[in-house]
Structure 1
């Protein structure tokens, strides 16, 4: 399984251990099926990618109908797919092949083919696919959701280093219902010292929590970037630009992973508060390349699109499209997508509330050993207000499975230990964990928040209950 945190991207030092074969149907896999004459598998893969607007998959469906590979030979159907491919993205091969096939069609076949093309275009054409799946339409939220707003932010200090260099740190995090930062994940760090400084900084940040119909709720999948610059940010950005030029060439010629790497590299150029491009420079929009990567079947790109559409990043927020991409990524083994979608379904922030599916998503990630999901399920089983969901034995079992001394989100660990131990009669351990949580809040000058509420429940001799953290 894959999560975003083990996809650490350091420019010009791309992670060689990334697995990209689990579940996801990619264009490369589809071509491998075709090359091995596994035509049934190839047809299914091309059909799935064609539905995402992949013009090469649409072209290959046209070829398979022209040759009768897995499907019956059908020249009108072939011409319809070839025309769709060429109209999705003008392609010399599609146009040439379409000309050859069209010359073999009778007038009746041409009418049949044109009618079929209109059907395909209405469903799989560029305009139809963009309107249905990609960031081009208006906001369509299912509830009164308001994003978290910063109350207190800090700038990280440049750490002591033997050699002063520039660098960046990308962080993914959640915001709890008390406005504190949780589930901190380092997505990319050019130096470990920069990562440590960034962690200490973001722990101190405080937010007015997100709300649904005025009620505070957790918010998952937030991103932050910290820039450590020696000299001007513009000079540093120029260095990054020159470093990613080879990535663009690979993206243009390669598959979904190459496109994703280039898209992610483009996001790295937006350093700090956003350094303007140098005079005369023109950067490709990263969103365009994430889209192309997703159309090639890259599951990490699907997760990025789901995030962008969920938060309205470089586009207008659209919960239906966001759900589509997050569910695709989750089904293809991206555990961050499973946790994000599972968490959102539990409280119905961006999507219609579905507790059973939310728990199922989290369980899938936990079963694959994802610490965030294991800890979250321990919390849910200990604090959920529904007695049919709350389960002390399961809560303790999940907590006992959590074994990560390097887990960054210490506050969540301490609070989860406190509620689980208290619910299972381990009062001494519960008090010890609660004391650690209070010490953490004092260190980072955070309000008592959830820790204080837990303490009040303990003092009253009652279990602490809350939907999710």
Structure 2
């Protein structure tokens, strides 16, 4: 039975932040069975099927516990229900060890286990409900600067990607950008962070129209050299190695593989991420394509034109004769009249085409055409559309179930903001709590702010303060700002500390002269009993809000009460 312990492959660079499952493997291999049991149990409670299976193995073998085929059977049943190949055979092996009097008890225990940790139960309590949407549905970009291709990478013909997670502040600026996945490691990190940090978005607003923040927005940046080809053999070797480790339940490998899958879908250009009802995928590859699209009239050309690059994506289906129908442009933002003319011209060219494809194929499948125009050249490809990031999202979720704090933070923030899933605040807070308990600072600050906000759940000042304290201790200025607010305005006197609130708010305002920071400083002065200073900083908040084009009414309303 010992050979059924599936997950034996570890990443050499795995850190304590990748807790639970990997730590359980290390402990098991070192015969530290009490620790292995604890770590496997933590992941098993999140629905990680390899951990559930490994608990079954330990109960079957009597490793660190009294040998118990009934418990083994129940854990194998949970692993099978959560999709682990081979768990069905292990369940039968455990069943063969049971006496007639134990069969009913084992069956009841398995049903009890499935009612809490089976696939259906976890879908209700923990797992995101996936839907077709964009990565950042509430974020509307106004200005994006392309990253500079690192000279050394260009010289060495290196290509790859970075996945960057960042926050969008109340003014639409980018903060806290960090690379969470990259290939090759470190090569494109600085270029990515420099570019993303300069981006500008439309100022986010909450459901009442007031300025708000977006935390955990995500983007995958693709680095390719024009005319260069990806080394498919090297790429396949890397992904195969990660896939093998990911299959064993290794959360670090799963998270890395998710980044590669997202990038692969990006470079193929076939991620379809618009909400259009129930889309139909599975279109066949086209056996031939017509001549390339013609460059739109009036589009600048040549070295002296100042033009660098322009990208279009269109989605369509084919009728029975291979003619494109239902053509629509993807990724539409603000357009000039000239842009609209170029778009129409390209769509008219597409509508006149005729594609060759298998005669017996389904004609409902969706295609995506990607068209890149450079100074002196054009590039076009047409491929079947893929469901948006389905495989990558699954891998991130598996990494979260395996105990990877960064993946848990990503799943939690996705649930809060509805990125590729239905918004579910309760599930989101649960995932953020798992990540925060491992010391993940972004999870701690977001969890603290959400607990102050309250929303559908009851506001909890004490828990919010505790999490913000932890994030502030790690240097988060945002956590310091929100902690200052709690120390000034909490409903319980035992939680308030006006002097400390003032010190934190003054520290934050030195580097962040924004309306919210001034507003918190006003709260601190008011808690100290100094209305004159409080009014002064509310006036600063009002002026700053007007300068930034924010809704100034909340600050004006507060001033009117003085």
TM superposition score normalised by structure 2: 0.61
Q: 1:207 is matched with which residue: 203, 210, 221? A: 203
| Counterpart check, 1:155 vs 2:158 | no
Residue of structure 1 in register with 2:502 after alignment: 396
Q: Partner of 1:185: helix, strand, or coil?
A: strand
Q: 1:208 to 1:301 in 2, by over 3 A?
A: closer
Q: CA deviation at 1:289?
A: 0.6
Q: Deviations over 1:34-93 (max 9, x none)?
A: 23333222222222222222222222222222333333322233233333333433433x
**8 Å CA contact 1:260, 1:289 repeated in 2:** yes
Residue of structure 2 in register with 1:109 after alignment: 102
Q: Deviations over 1:360-399 (max 9, x none)?
A: 21112112333321233235545x4869466441123324
1:8-407 → structure 2 map (5 Å cutoff): 20-22=15-17, 25-92=19-86, 94-136=87-129, 153-158=141-146, 170-176=164-170, 180-181=171-172, 184-188=175-179, 190=188, 192-193=190-191, 195-202=193-200, 205-207=201-203, 209-211=205-207, 214=208, 216=210, 218-225=212-219, 245=239, 247-253=242-248, 255-269=250-264, 271=266, 275-276=270-271, 279=383, 285-349=391-455, 351-381=457-487, 384=489, 388=493, 391-399=497-505
- Inter-partner Cα distance in structure 1 for 2:193 and 2:42: 39
Q: Partner of 2:210: helix, strand, or coil?
A: strand
Q: Partner of 1:366: helix, strand, or coil?
A: helix
Q: Partner of 1:187: helix, strand, or coil?
A: strand
Q: CA deviation at 1:137?
A: 8.3
Q: Deviations over 1:165-213 (max 9, x none)?
A: 787673521444xxx23671212393645544433332xx3335103xx
Q: CA deviation at 1:344?
A: 1.1
Residue of structure 1 in register with 2:290 after alignment: none
Q: 1:84 to 1:392 in 2, by over 3 A?
A: closer
**8 Å CA contact 2:481, 2:504 repeated in 1:** yes
**8 Å CA contact 1:244, 1:262 repeated in 2:** no
**8 Å CA contact 1:148, 1:210 repeated in 2:** no
Q: Deviations over 1:439-458 (max 9, x none)?
A: 8985xxx21656x9769978
5+ residue gaps in structure 2?
1-10, 183-187, 272-367, 369-381
**8 Å CA contact 1:347, 1:353 repeated in 2:** yes
**8 Å CA contact 2:483, 2:501 repeated in 1:** yes
| Counterpart check, 1:411 vs 2:514 | yes
Residue of structure 2 in register with 1:11 after alignment: none
5+ residue gaps in structure 1?
1-14, 139-146, 463-469
Q: Partner of 1:32: helix, strand, or coil?
A: helix
Q: 1:228 to 1:122 in 2, by over 3 A?
A: closer
Q: Partner of 2:410: helix, strand, or coil?
A: helix
Q: 1:362 to 1:95 in 2, by over 3 A?
A: same
The Cα RMSD (Å) is: 4.7
Greater per-residue helix proportion:
1
- Inter-partner Cα distance in structure 1 for 2:424 and 2:238: 31
Q: Partner of 2:383: helix, strand, or coil?
A: coil
TM superposition score normalised by structure 1: 0.71
Q: Deviations over 1:204-223 (max 9, x none)?
A: x3335103xx4737344251
**8 Å CA contact 1:303, 1:337 repeated in 2:** yes
- Inter-partner Cα distance in structure 1 for 2:129 and 2:561: 52
- Inter-partner Cα distance in structure 1 for 2:390 and 2:405: 21
> Per chain length, whose mean CA-contact separation is higher, i.e. which structure has more relative contact order (CA < 8 Å, sep 6+)?
1
Q: Which has the larger radius of gyration?
A: 2
- Inter-partner Cα distance in structure 1 for 2:555 and 2:196: 28
Segments of 4+ in structure 1 off by > 6 A?
A: 159-162, 164-169, 228-236, 238-244, 420-425, 430-441, 452-458
